[in-house]
Structure 1
């Protein structure tokens, strides 16, 4: 697994017409660490992640990844700079096989020994994908498609992995499976930014966490400390 790099962003703003979805937020993902972003529906979590990838118009004062300025990098080139992205809703290519979906994740890399080893690593991380490598992706269950979406992103050998709602629509058992994978990736030193509505999953998978409310970061801290914080319950659950 490729070791992570530090990522930082300041004054990130996203507008949809006259609506401000993300209002001047900033944070850092330290090298090899995992950071979570939680919040209620409409808090701006997914909009922030899409803006980081360049998938929606954004305004930003600074966005750096290691020594590289990403503020003007277009979405199609983010993967070449070491950013992997797992979109909300998986978006696998249903008419292609599992293995072809995975190979598409390595489109920016040469087909060399390292890339072949990366494919073997994905099959080791998700054995079910190896067993179904010739099956059409559209025939997989929702949980299997989520594994495929994560595996596809890992095929680019990212130094930072952005995940948008990976537990959405999954059974509790599959959520635990995804949690185990994220904890394993965290242990291998991959930098991760996890956007989730599932606060329990986020707190267990990350080192630090941001709580978003109305497009802003309402609070942040160590995930272990936020687990029982009454302010999180008020912001996140409306209690």
Structure 2
């Protein structure tokens, strides 16, 4: 196990790989994220686990450009995203599913989905993407005319993921996708994430549920006090005694 960059080997640098080095975030005089490094290749999934306040969500928001970064280099393939504004990240192939879903409750399911494709024209590719989202989440097709605010929490989570997929991202960032969901719905969402990974999408997943994270990711970071305390394959970490005691309750 290592405390440096985790993920696919250095030789596995596909054109759509996410590479992050020295990511640091300060809130006033407090260092919330300290020198985080990671790599996620197409078809790979990485998890970030840790207790509340460990820096997980701040790391994801910093990657997306939603909060200022003190330092760090972020690239996706040959594209340097270090200075790209949050609103332009989607155009560069980064999808984001925020904690709490943040769907537009007064708009229909389909209008929420189409907002995810705001930068694309309504052509065959967009129609195909919408059809693919409905294939992944048939319940959204059934409820496409229903107001998003009338959906259950699990259905809203599916909608938030589907909306992010409408931009046809190369990389998908997910913040606490299992929060507030029943075990059955969590299983459904995880099945979809495994399917997306099989389709070649890179996934970076922030979760408090370590067992869930290990089940859907290939590599994982453990964050403590803003820093990467441990990293390795999900299988290695799932059998690490310290992780088992602290995060799995074993």
Does residue 111 of structure 2 align to residue 100 of structure 1? yes
Gaps of at least 5 residues in structure 1 are none
Q: Is the 8 A contact 1:4 1:159 kept in 2?
A: no
Please give the per-residue CA displacement for 1:141-161, whole angstroms capped at 9, x wherever unaligned.
Answer: 000000000000000000000
Counterparts of 1:24-39 in structure 2 under 5 Å? 24-39=35-50
Give the match for residue 203 of structure 1.
Answer: 214
Please give the per-residue CA displacement for 1:29-79, whole angstroms capped at 9, x wherever unaligned.
Answer: 122211111111111000000000110111233111100110000001000
In 2: Cα distance, 1:80 partner to 1:220 partner: 30
In 1: Cα distance, 2:154 partner to 2:232 partner: 30
Q: Is the 8 A contact 1:213 1:235 kept in 2?
A: no
In 2: Cα distance, 1:62 partner to 1:69 partner: 8
Give the match for residue 212 of structure 1.
Answer: 223
In 2: Cα distance, 1:165 partner to 1:233 partner: 20
In 2: Cα distance, 1:15 partner to 1:204 partner: 32
Q: Is the 8 A contact 1:209 1:222 kept in 2?
A: yes
Does residue 185 of structure 2 align to residue 177 of structure 1? no
In 2: Cα distance, 1:22 partner to 1:238 partner: 26
SS of structure 2 residue aligned to 1:57: coil
Give the match for residue 230 of structure 1.
Answer: 241
Counterparts of 1:68-217 in structure 2 under 5 Å? 68-217=79-228
Q: Return the offset for 1:237.
A: 6.0
SS of structure 1 residue aligned to 2:48: strand
Identify which of 3, 7, 16 aligns with 2:18.
7
In 1: Cα distance, 2:72 partner to 2:158 partner: 34
In 2: Cα distance, 1:89 partner to 1:185 partner: 21
In 2: Cα distance, 1:4 partner to 1:101 partner: 30
Distance change in 2, residues 1:13/1:235 (3 Å): farther
In 2: Cα distance, 1:110 partner to 1:101 partner: 16
Q: Return the offset for 1:4.
A: 8.1
Does residue 28 of structure 2 align to residue 17 of structure 1? yes
SS of structure 1 residue aligned to 2:239: coil
Distance change in 2, residues 1:171/1:238 (3 Å): closer
Q: Is the 8 A contact 2:238 2:244 kept in 1?
A: no
Runs of 4+ in 1 over 2 A off after TM superposition: 233-239
Gaps of at least 5 residues in structure 2 are 1-13
TM-score (structure 2 length as normaliser): 0.91
**Aligned-CA RMSD value:** 1.5
In 2: Cα distance, 1:231 partner to 1:128 partner: 40
Please give the per-residue CA displacement for 1:172-218, whole angstroms capped at 9, x wherever unaligned.
Answer: 11111111111111111100100101111111111111111110111
